Structure 1
């Protein structure tokens, strides 16, 4: 029952806000109190998973190529982003760190903000993790400057919660202003892939397009609620994140000299293993 209720967390919050702040219209304090209770209940449901326990990971192809660092990975904690909202229970953030580059740090002492073009992730290609059909694609939101210094990060928290999240709620846009430019793929069998924070104008697909695993969907950007250019990726069981539950996933990758099938974590750099490379390893 609680997993079913968790799917309607956003509806509870919206209805609760409507009741709580419409007292001048209905004039009943009991309705206002009920509204506040619905808001609190809806917010608590953000921390309740809608996913049935014990589900096996969906094995995919990595949506990126090259050397990356996993951040906010489900290999480290679940829910990886601290909430089950928008189906992101098992979401991962991927930051491109080329060989020989300085170790990635979540926050910098300076500068206060930098252009997105100054980050290695910006403009990196994002590929389809499996064959599928595009059910949503948008690419008009701007790429903003970084928010990875302490003052800028505090601004990011306020902007993300008070502006982008509320704007997404009140426009019923399923987190569009939090995710920024994004693509949703229907992979079949009730599995949907969500790829977010893409570069403005880089999205190469449209709703209804059929894609094959490895096809380029667009490029990494810094749109939406993002501290620096990176790819946010997760799987969910419905096409609309607002009512979706997250699904676990896995792909083949190399880290520390070992090839694994799973989810990279611990902020340890990894290189995705392509199907071609996997075949070569097996032949060897």
Structure 2
């Protein structure tokens, strides 16, 4: 359905503009669903005057933005339309309908459009959403400049009690406040629209309302007057925004959101008091301030998002909470997956003498490591008595780069050990670390002293000779130690490394991990 509509929009600019205006309604409460847009649009029309002004504000804001040459993507994101809708509703509620008011309304929407552009530019650097900050500034300016045209705030008459359960219609009325309404039918449409697109959003809408209710009751020892405050409006919007829209939903974020919503409730009283001095309604001031503060904290370098498991969503990926969870899961799976295509770091056939988590040296953070030696038909690693380094088949054999990359660390001056002795002070011996420029690094150890041909900063290709196999470091006899790791330092945490296109015990392997005791060699180097 959406694909067909998008195709029509591409072919017809008028239909495209109408679609932008219509879809804006869903985005008011963080939804990209047309069903939600319909519910929220209808919810504004329980008072025709308010519904018309909301629609007119939406149309004019998008029209002015289009005439000013604003990129289509910003219009589709709904940022102009959302602020236009809120401005239209607020003006319809606050000012007397007249020719003067109509003129001022148009000028206010134009000012709003300029403010949206300005805030888009200011917030782009921090990857912050504009939210409804432009609406607040534009509406406050109109309030202060044209207070003589103000009337008593518009109210919507009750439609009657829905059921006999006490307070239920009051609960629905609280949710209608998300669209600056005071009508339980509007509240039902708001909840239906939220539920249709996201169960997570629905949960956070309910949770935001409960937190606002509890906060008000604790401070006042009564719920009288709760609906007359802007606490329901700000607590619900803040809970929706932080709970799963701008931040990935998780157990940790649920706790974070709870505190943030309570902060929004606190700031609501502050803004109501300060702005009330000038007779200006605070509306969504605390919602905007709290969400921006929360995102500022999350996107700063001081707060470890990953450690806390509270992950902010980049604005270009904004969708719905379920999609954000899926995105983050894919990020984690990608990070766990191996990105480097590895070849065995040698020429010819070698034996796997130690595998992953196979010995005292291959354990813990160093567990994903492999050791290789060359053996003869009798499975010996040496000829003769094996008393000298030169008796060992792999001694001074070429060691090659397992994949393309940049050399980031080299040790080339450690003496080779006599057979049967080890150097535990210089445990890694002579080594090379290659940065594969994808977050993964290869570390190869125990080179022959002075044999390493590469230096830090050199670029290497798969199969290129790095040096010769030796017996330096913690090595009683010549062998190659290989590990794929997370960092560029010797001894960094290892990760499971699979090799591609190799032969193990005469069987072709497309991708796998060589097993202990098997004979392995590269299939072909590309």
When normalised by structure 2's length, the TM-score is: 0.34
Q: Does 1:92 align with 2:373?
A: no
Q: Distance in 2 between matches of 1:181 and 1:69?
A: 21
1:18 alignment counterpart = none
Q: Is the Cα contact below 8 Å between 2:462 and 2:525 reproduced in 1?
A: no
2:498 alignment counterpart = 250
Q: Distance in 2 between matches of 1:60 and 1:235?
A: 9
Alignment counterpart, residue 114 of structure 1, candidates 380, 387, 402: 387
2:363 alignment counterpart = 83
Q: Distance in 2 between matches of 1:247 and 1:104?
A: 30
Q: Does 1:103 align with 2:379?
A: yes
1:159-183 Cα offsets, whole Å, 9 max, x none, are 65xxx2xx4xxxxxxxxx1011111
Indicate the structure with greater helix content.
2
1:269 alignment counterpart = 519
Secondary structure, aligned partner of 1:239:
coil
Is the radius of gyration larger for structure 1 or structure 2? 2
Where does the alignment leave 5 or more consecutive residues of structure 1 unmatched?
A: 1-51, 148-155, 168-176, 277-284
Q: Distance in 1 between matches of 2:440 and 2:460?
A: 15
| Map 1:5-44 → 2, pairs under 5 A | none
Q: Is the Cα contact below 8 Å between 2:381 and 2:393 reproduced in 1?
A: no
Alpha-carbon RMSD: 2.7
Cα displacement (A) at 1:263: 1.7
Q: Is the Cα contact below 8 Å between 1:132 and 1:212 reproduced in 2?
A: yes
Cα displacement (A) at 1:271: 2.0
Alignment counterpart, residue 439 of structure 2, candidates 190, 201, 219: 190
Secondary structure, aligned partner of 2:372:
strand
Q: Distance in 1 between matches of 2:430 and 2:436?
A: 20
Where does the alignment leave 5 or more consecutive residues of structure 2 unmatched?
A: 1-331
Secondary structure, aligned partner of 2:417:
coil
Q: Does 1:123 align with 2:396?
A: yes
Q: Does 1:235 align with 2:491?
A: no
1:209-255 Cα offsets, whole Å, 9 max, x none, are 1111111100100011102100000011111134x221111223212
Q: Is the Cα contact below 8 Å between 1:253 and 1:271 reproduced in 2?
A: yes
Cα 1:274–1:225 shift into 2, 3 Å: same
Q: Distance in 2 between matches of 1:236 and 1:79?
A: 18
| Map 1:171-210 → 2, pairs under 5 A | 177-210=426-459
Cα 1:256–1:146 shift into 2, 3 Å: same
1:136 alignment counterpart = 409
1:63 alignment counterpart = 345
Alignment counterpart, residue 465 of structure 2, candidates 216, 241, 244: 216
Q: Is the Cα contact below 8 Å between 1:115 and 1:144 reproduced in 2?
A: no
When normalised by structure 1's length, the TM-score is: 0.61
Q: How many residues align?
A: 191
Secondary structure, aligned partner of 1:182:
strand
1:144-172 Cα offsets, whole Å, 9 max, x none, are 2211xxxxxxxx5xx65xxx2xx4xxxxx
Cα displacement (A) at 1:79: 7.8
Cα 1:264–1:189 shift into 2, 3 Å: same
Cα displacement (A) at 1:142: 1.2
Cα displacement (A) at 1:115: 1.5
Cα 1:206–1:105 shift into 2, 3 Å: closer
Q: Distance in 1 between matches of 2:454 and 2:354?
A: 27
1:281 alignment counterpart = none
Q: Distance in 2 between matches of 1:80 and 1:254?
A: 27
Secondary structure, aligned partner of 2:427:
helix
Secondary structure, aligned partner of 1:117:
helix
Q: Is the Cα contact below 8 Å between 1:80 and 1:90 reproduced in 2?
A: no
